[in-house]
């Protein structure tokens, strides 16, 4: 476990917590959207951002759970500014409603954290006819980012503050379909197992970040886009994975980390001054890491971007 505690160039490690990596960072005046903010590392991310003065909009599928989470945070952080809005990332209609409701709040947007994710036992179809992992983990966030991007652009121009987009993913060397992403299986997932489907959706998160970063740089926009691997954490993501849950219970003390540690890299990339101007990177353990060759494939990222645009339109 020595590697877990070894600090990288940032001065932090896999053992660092979200509170530690944001100590002394002033987030007052900033607004952040955090998807999946009612539990797990999404909740911890929202809590720590609110603690640092950020106005947090909690995008949640279960509104009652979101409200309860908001109240729990507010009870410990007097003056915390938080809103709760409904968002089901597996439904493009829900994503569009959320974007409309967010705009009605008349808030700027400085930080977008695409945190929510799903892992199911079987490759199912979403209400839009897409493989559920891909629909929720990638397409929902892809559409959400596109719908909120003009607000972010206006916000960074008006404030002079860099906008930051963070996509949560898995290990940069996560095993995926040999061809990277099997696009013909997005509408017909037969032949895919759930682990491959989940791996494809997480690979898509990194490719999305990379392509978006290139586009923003070409436009000369002061917005960064990065991918973050939170590490292995026992969260609700595994609630439908009985075998995985048992394995994590068994070896969790060796390979898993706490929710506070799991949210650290996200909060670091979202707020720390060290990350200013850094875009198109993959972060793990609060430091820049190296993803797989597939995750760095510019042609695959371009293909995914075009496919995603066609899908959401």
Q: How far, in Å, CA of 110 to CA of 4, rounded? A: 31
* CB distance 266 to 45 below 8 Å: yes
Clarify whether 198 is annotated catalytic.
yes
Residue whose structure tokens are 């706490």 = 258
Eight-class DSSP state of 115: -
For β-strands 287-288 and 282-284, DSSP reports them as: antiparallel
At 179, is the secondary structure helix, strand, or coil? coil
Q: How far, in Å, CA of 218 to CA of 55, rounded? A: 29
Q: How far, in Å, CA of 252 to CA of 105, rounded? A: 41
Q: Which of 5, 198, 268, 282 is catalytic?
A: 198
Q: Which residues sit opposite 227 in a β-bridge?
A: 167, 282
Q: Which residues sit opposite 164 in a β-bridge?
A: 111, 224
Q: Dihedral, CA atoms, 244, 249, 254, 255, nearest 10 degrees?
A: 30
Name which of 210, 111, 207 is nearest 165 in CA terms.
Answer: 111
Q: Please, what's the b/e burial string for 111-133 (b: 16 or more CB within 10 A of its CB; e: otherwise)?
A: bbbbbbbbbbeebbebeeebbbb
Q: How far, in Å, CA of 57 to CA of 111, rounded? A: 10
Catalytic residues, which ones?
198
């Amino acid at each position: 476990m020595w590697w877990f505690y070894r600090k990288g160039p940032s001065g932090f490690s896999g053992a660092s917590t979200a509170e530690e990596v944001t100590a002394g960072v002033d987030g007052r005046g900033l607004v952040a959207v955090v998807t999946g903010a009612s539990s797990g590392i999404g909740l911890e991310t929202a809590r720590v951002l609110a603690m640092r003065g950020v106005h947090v909009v909690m995008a949640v599928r279960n509104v009652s759970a979101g409200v309860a989470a908001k109240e729990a945070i507010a009870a410990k952080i007097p003056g915390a500014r938080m809103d709760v809005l409904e968002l089901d990332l597996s439904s493009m209609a829900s994503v569009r409603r959320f974007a409309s409701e967010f705009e009605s709040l008349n808030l700027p947007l400085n930080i977008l954290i695409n945190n929510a994710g799903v892992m199911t036992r079987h490759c199912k179809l979403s209400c839009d006819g897409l493989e559920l992992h891909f629909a929720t983990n990638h397409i929902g966030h892809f559409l959400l980012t596109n719908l909120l991007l003009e607000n972010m652009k206006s916000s960074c121009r008006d404030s002079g503050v860099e906008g930051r987009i963070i996509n949560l993913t898995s290990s940069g060397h996560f095993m995926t379909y040999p061809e990277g992403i099997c696009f013909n299986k997005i509408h017909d997932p037969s032949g895919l197992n759930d682990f491959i489907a989940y791996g494809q959706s997480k690979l898509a998160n990194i490719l999305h970040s990379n392509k978006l970063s290139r586009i923003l740089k070409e436009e000369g926009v002061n917005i960064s886009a990065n991918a973050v691997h939170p590490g292995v954490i026992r969260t609700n993501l595994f609630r439908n994975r009985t075998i995985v849950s048992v394995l994590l219970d068994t070896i969790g003390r060796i390979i898993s980390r706490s929710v506070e540690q799991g949210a650290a890299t996200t909060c670091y990339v979202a707020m720390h001054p060290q990350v200013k101007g850094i875009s198109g990177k993959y972060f793990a353990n609060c430091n820049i890491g190296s993803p797989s060759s597939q995750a760095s494939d510019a042609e695959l990222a371009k293909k995914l971007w075009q496919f995603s645009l066609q899908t959401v339109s």
